[in-house]
Amino acid sequence: MTTTRPALRGFAGFVLALRFCTELALLAGLAVAGARLGGSVLLDVLAAVLWPALAAVIWAFVVAPRAKRRAPEPTRFFLEVALFGVAALGLIASGLPVAGIVLGAAGIAVAAAVRVWARDG
């Protein structure tokens, strides 16, 4: 049995598309921060791979719309805020303060917008 989802249209669709973009930016930000904060080449590579991988696992298991054990609100919102906050702080600590502030602010703003305009996204 296949379940079809309605096509995403209008402002709600735009918000969900923006959310996807911020999710990708979260993973990229964690990879960049990990690579810059590792300390040696080996640790740089490990951190650049493991930090976004850990965030992706957390997202897939408890935040994603199709997660089997999706966390309830507001827990899910606070997890999103924490992930974007960690990525922002990592970028700031690695010498990229503007990127960190932009990523953190955009990620948190979009997470809030999803709750207002694109429920259950």
Percentage of the chain lying above the pLDDT 90 cut = 83
pLDDT tens, residue by residue, 93-106: 999 999 999 999 99
**Whole-number pLDDT of residue 121:** 59
pLDDT tens, residue by residue, 71-90: 999 999 999 999 999 999 99
All residues at 6 or more sequence positions from 47 whose CB lies less than 8 Å from its CB, including other chains: 33, 34, 35, 37, 38
pLDDT tens, residue by residue, 13-32: 999 999 999 999 999 999 99
Closest CA to 101 of 3, 47, 25: 25
Whether the pLDDT of residue 109 is over 60: the answer is yes
**Whole-number pLDDT of residue 9:** 80
Q: How confident is the model at residue 62 (pLDDT cuts 50, 70, 90)?
A: very high
The mean of the pLDDT values for the chain is 92
Q: How large is the C-alpha radius of gyration of the chain?
A: 15
Whether the pLDDT of residue 1 is over 80: the answer is no
d(CA 119, CA 14): 13
